[in-house]
Amino acid sequence: MTHEGSLDAPTRHVIDWQNPDFADPVKLDEEMRRVFDICHGCRRCFNLCDSFPRLFDLIDTSPNEELPDVKSEDFAPVVEACTLCDMCFMTKCPYVPPHPFQLDFPHLMLRHRFANADSNKNAFVQKQLAEMDRNGTLARVASPVINWASDKSNTPVRAVMEKSAGIDRTATLPKFHSRTFISADKADPISPNEAAPAYGKRKAALYATCFVNYNKPVTGLAARSVLNHIGVETKAAYPGCCGMPFLEQAELGRVAANAAKVSKELVKLIDDGYDIVALTASCGLMLKFEWALVCPDNADVKRVADATYDIDEYVVDIARKEGLPHGLKGLPEGVTVHLACHARAQNMGPKAAEMLKLIPDTPVDVIERCSGHGGTFGVVKPTHEVAVKVGRPVFRAAEKQARGHIVSDCPLAAQHIFDHSTTPARAPEHPIQIMARAYGLIED
């Protein structure tokens, strides 16, 4: 018997992307209309992102204000506005599995992108942006020039980039470094603190992630410093990108290939007794959950999922089970913690906030809402303003809290909030950088 809503924990089905029915236009349209009709009757997600207002406007402006009057080709803007943040699935929708309606809006949007990849006129630029390992490797050679050219203050070059590549001239682009996190780790080996309660009990392989490795090595170095200080032996590891940028573009074959390649290397570290610790929320979500939905029969993927921690989750787990060394010093200016959507989607609780609340005399405020950035979504011209629009409640909250630090497990979200608010924070940071600062492991 069908019931209204569900109190059961949401469960996800495998993404059946190799089944011919997955991309069949008739079957896809039937499913889009089935789901959209349910959404039309519910409208609980109206304020989460722009996909739902676009859908409801399509229906409300149709002749009879009903879904049958909406043309299927008009569904494209609804799909475009989805950032795959998963918040409708995780926190709002009462009809997700195991409910009989079996509604999974984000994965339906993914299916539509997969089936209609050839018709996406913006696909080329977005696909090139998704080539993180290639871009990062090439950018190392000429990072000063690339960073100069891509800086927002370089208005002539950014104007050309906007016109030729569709990258919004007002969007902040990540900086590249000639010295990656992996190379920095090799050049400066460190040892765990023998006086820490966790010494000899934990070994962590820090999965660098493409963003930390190429764009923000300071996050990796801060994570390494904190873990070593609390007694954990560390090893930096980066067999390649987890494939999240390919997932955004519905290149599911590329996701499966990256999952197979990376997991094959990570299980070697698991065999050596290492926990896998992801340094960004999106990559943690991929390793723990998304890989298994794309390639469910890969045994290596299953082992990696069972052995993976988010970095904040890992520190909190050590604090509870082994304890932390003394010496944390308060930050009276306080911290605003943005709970990244891909951290929330891991079903582990607000670990970033829990970790930072271990620091004495430090006010910690939380923002639990999508920043709107969405990876390439927040960079390309067609959707940058939508990313800003969706993020405005977050920007206002950061301004109201007015803390001295703004952090998020999603580095793009942290930068997005910093760019579009008047927060007094010094810079967008990862929560682990705050822990390193509180322990006196990094200089201000």
Cα–Cα nearest to 313, from 349, 267, 362: 349
- Average pLDDT on 170-174 reads 95
Cα–Cα nearest to 35, from 91, 98, 85, 109: 109
Q: Is the pLDDT of residue 42 over 90?
A: yes
Q: How many residues does the chain have?
A: 444
- Average pLDDT on 157-179 reads 94
User: What predicted TM-score, i.e. pTM, was given to this entire model?
Assistant: 0.93
Dist. CA 243–CA 132, nearest whole Å? 9
DSSP 8-state symbol, 375 = G
For 235, the 3-state DSSP assignment is: strand
CA dihedral 306, 312, 316, 321 (to 10 degrees): 40
Q: Would you state the pLDDT for residue 374?
A: 86
Q: How many CB atoms lie within 10 A of CB 140?
A: 16
pLDDT, tens digit, for every residue of 249-277? 999 999 999 999 999 999 999 999 999 99
439 pLDDT band, cuts 50/70/90, is very high
Percent of the chain's residues with pLDDT above 70: 97
- Residue that is written with structure tokens 């977005």 in the block: 126
Cα–Cα nearest to 219, from 443, 5, 439, 432: 432
DSSP 8-state symbol, 35 = H
DSSP codes, 386-399: HHHHHHHHHHHHHH
- Average pLDDT on 273-300 reads 97
2 pLDDT band, cuts 50/70/90, is low
**Helix, strand, coil distribution of the chain in percent, nearest 5:** 55, 5, 40
Dist. CA 201–CA 233, nearest whole Å? 9
Sort 282 into a burial class: Cβ within 10 Å, 0-12 / 13-18 / 19+.
buried
Sort 333 into a burial class: Cβ within 10 Å, 0-12 / 13-18 / 19+.
middle
* 399, 422 contact by CB (below 8 A): yes
Strands (E), 152-194: none
Cα–Cα nearest to 401, from 409, 393, 391: 393
Dist. CA 381–CA 420, nearest whole Å? 16
Q: Is the pLDDT of residue 126 over 90?
A: no
Q: How many CA atoms lie within 13 A of 311 on its CB side?
A: 35
pLDDT, tens digit, for every residue of 400-426? 999 999 999 999 999 999 999 999 999
Q: Which residue type, as a one-letter code, is found at position 414?
A: A
Tokens of 394: 């977050």
Q: Would you state the pLDDT for residue 92?
A: 84
Cα–Cα nearest to 263, from 311, 299, 317: 299
Dist. CA 249–CA 203, nearest whole Å? 35
pLDDT, tens digit, for every residue of 311-337? 999 999 999 999 999 999 999 999 999
Dist. CA 340–CA 411, nearest whole Å? 9
Dist. CA 382–CA 79, nearest whole Å? 13
Q: Would you state the pLDDT for residue 444?
A: 63
Q: Would you state the pLDDT for residue 177?
A: 94
